[in-house]
Amino acid sequence: MIPLDLSLADVPSLPVHAARLLAKEGVKTVADVVWHLPFRHEDRRHMQAMAFQAGPLPSCHHVLVTKTGNKFFGGRSGVFEAVVRHATGLLGQQLTLKWWNMPFMSRVIAEGQELIVYGVIKDSKGRLSMSHPEYEIVKGGADDDAEQIHTGRITPIYRLKGAMTQKALRVAVWHVCQALPVSFVDDLLPTPSAEGEFAGQTRALALREVHFPSSMEKLEQSRRYLALEEFYGYQLRVARRKRRVIESGGRKQIGTGELLRDFFNELPFQLTTAQQRCLDEIHRDMASGAPMNRLLHGDVGSGKTVVAFAAMLRAVESGRQAVLMAPTQILAEQHARNARKWLEPLGLRVALRTGQTRQTSPTGQTEIVIGTHALLHDAELMHNTGIVVIDEQHKFGVAQRAKLIRKGDTPDVLVMTATPIPRTLTLTIYGDLEVSTIDQKPRDGVKIVTKVRPKTKLKDAAKFLREQIEEGRQGYIVYALIDESDKLEAGAATKGYEEWSKLLAPCEVGLLHGRMSAEEKEDVMKRFRAGKLDALVATTVIEVGIDVPNATVMFIHDAGRFGLAQLHQLRGRIGRGAHMSYCVLFVDDKDEENRQRLAIMEETSDGFQIAEEDLRRRGPGDVLGHAQSGQAPLLFGELLADTRLVRLARQLAEKTLDEDPQLLRPALATFRDEPVIAEKAQAMMQ
């Protein structure tokens, strides 16, 4: 029996050199080794008894060394070669093992030894060779391992630091696993169920299996168990936070109904059934004693803004203030303008606060405050806040949201997003929120026709846009360089602006990008909105929220650079009025791959379908696979693939909170990275 904090140097039979090598890189104790998890495994179980064969895949062989020698090429370069044949084979087939620039291998590998080797075999003119194979001396070596640790099994592959080697680490893990008692750590999970998938499973067994799996099935089962544990730690936090918010006690905001009545009387349209249903859910939350914590979820153009305004009016009717935060200045200004149009006639004061503008009404409490994240730095504006609304919430960090909410006095909180989220991710990203979905668009009749076209068709497109302009419509022309600086992006748009001004002359063309001053931006938007500009050349600053119903055309340059979800957001700027709308995605002439990828945009304008296709194409492993990044906070779980586990974890977490408080503390301690996970999950959706 050895304790987890035992120094590696004291683990029985662990070679001294391995312990020393690992200690240098900070892997010093038994626990350090146990938690140094492999990021993948190689199946080296099947020894190839038959011929050596060249090919792209590595293979595993039991061989006998017949000849060794160093060859030097001058200077420091050279190769150590060991000629081997099958240890059991009858054939005289030969294979040359090669170690480049490692002359000291002559002291390790010697004639007459038996090795297990694993690697890729190459064929050069009939001569077979394997460079830098993984090997194990099974007979005749100086320190021949009685067990096969590196080969002849499902072998763990670890991420290495500094001078560490796979072999030293693997040997250490092996001896630690041998020395540890069967149950060397306590379980964190409440026993999920006596039978079923996890019957008999424990944390200690699962960890062992992850290092040295006894079968592929056991490995996967253990990964799932540890993933469940991970999700459980996360859901425990989320569920606990949700309960705390409820228990913290909010205020009932019931209102008189007068402002809302006047508002709806003035509104030029009727709410859709879906909007009404969501609004009812929101008002019900607000009227209850517990603070509201709700997500209003609806595809682009589903009409979230009016619903938000109606929620804000309920707070004002109840004698409190309403605050709305948007991610960009342009969007905040658009909201402020709507608020002035719709709410000032009801006798309400509207204040706007962005990075550049600061307009506060002169005296008394402002009922409606609208702004960007600049609000976070402005304490005086917020006063007796009854509701905080966060638009396009995916554009904000978890911390920014929390900060704004804290500024209010246990306000009701409504966050809004158009990002379509698969059900499973909802539990992770929004596990502490109630969700209302606007699943219907105000004008289902209006269609957007989307086409993917090669760049060479630009002239035709210009002609088409001109025809639309002659009919009184407007258009957006989007330039963007993903991952490039604002400056380069602005440059591309500026160049595009010159080009399009010529192409469309004498129509009026405007330019909008992130490097312009607040006044310039607002001025351009004002002229575009008023119809004084026929077309707007812009960067992705127009991506979120902009609402100009008369715009019916959108051209997107280099559409291949965008994710489908972002294209969907961009396209959401058109098809907002009564007119048929058109979106053209330009790709490089021979870019077949992107033509295919973007085809889904031609087929559907359903954001949910597009998001699923996007995720499917990228593949869950690609998005957040634990193998991908050494820093990934999730070691075992794959948020997209392990749907069922996420749900199970939530159930277990609720159960623990209800009846098992002594499990709470250790489980919470294992999982400290909650915001990171939430941000990650969210990043997947963009």
Residue numbers at the binding site for ligand ADP (CB under 6 A): 269-272, 275, 298, 300-306, 418, 442, 545, 547, 549, 576
Compute the least distance from the CB of residue 435 to Mg ion, in Å. Answer: 17
- Residue 303 binds to Mg ion (criterion: CB under 5 A): no
Q: Which is nearer to ligand ADP, 149 or 326 (CB)?
A: 326
Tell me how far, at minimum, the Cβ of 301 lies from ligand ADP, in Å.
Answer: 5
Residue sitting closest to ligand ADP (CB): 303
Size (the chain), residues: 686
Closest CA to 479 of 552, 548, 563, 537: 537
Residue with smaller CB distance to Mg ion, 404 or 504: 404
The SS3 of residue 529 is: helix
The entry of ligand ADP, Mg ion, none near residue 275 (CB within 5 to 8 angstroms by kind) is ligand ADP
Question: Which listed option, ligand ADP, Mg ion, none, makes contact with residue 547 (CB within 5 to 8 Å by class)?
Answer: ligand ADP
Return the number of the residue (310 or 535) whose C-beta is nearest ligand ADP. 310
CB 390 → ligand ADP: shortest distance, Å? 13
Residue 326 near residue 545 (C-beta atoms within 8 A)? yes
CA atoms within 13 A on the CB side of 582: 18
How many angstroms separate the CA atoms of 334 and 448, rounded?
A: 23
Instruction: Determine how β-strand 321-325 pairs with β-strand 368-371.
Output: parallel
CA 66, 72, 78, 84: dihedral to nearest 10 degrees?
A: -10
Which two tokens mark 181? 């008692």
CB of 305 vs ligand ADP, minimal distance in Å: 3
Q: Return the range that interacts with Mg ion (CB under 5 A); candidates 132-140, 454-462, 543-551, 678-686.
A: 543-551
Q: Indicate the residue among 566 and 656 with the shorter CB distance to Mg ion.
A: 566
Q: In terms of Cα–Cα distance, which of 170, 160, 166, 175 is closest to 25?
A: 160
Distance CA 89, CA 484 (A): 58
Q: DSSP string covering 411-432, please?
A: -EEEEEE-----HHHHHHHSTT
Least separation in angstroms between CB 336 and ligand ADP: 14
* Contact stretch for Mg ion (CB under 5 A) within 438-446, 483-491, 545-553, 571-579: 545-553
* Cβ closest to Mg ion, residue 546 vs residue 600: 546
Nearer to ligand ADP, 281 or 547 (CB): 547
Compute the least distance from the CB of residue 294 to Mg ion, in Å: 16
C-alpha separations of 593 from 526, 555, 588, 596, 605 in Å: 39, 20, 10, 5, 21
CB of residue 304 to Mg ion, shortest distance in Å: 5
Of the candidates 471, 464, 293, the residue with the CA atom closest to the CA atom of residue 390: 293
Select from 411, 545, 560, 607 the one that contacts Mg ion (CB under 5 A).
Answer: 545
Angle at 181 between CA 178 and CA 187, to 5 degrees: 120
Closest C-alpha to 284, from 254, 319, 246 = 254
576's contact among Mg ion, ligand ADP, none, with CB below 5 to 8 A by partner kind, is ligand ADP
330 or 681: whose CB is closer to Mg ion? 330
Tell the smallest beta-carbon distance from residue 443 to ligand ADP (Å).
6
Q: Residue 303 or residue 327: which is nearer to ligand ADP going by CB?
A: 303
The pair of structure tokens assigned to 330 is 């342009």
- Residue whose entry in the numeric block shows the structure tokens 């006894």: 214
Tell me which residues touch Mg ion (CB under 5 A). 545
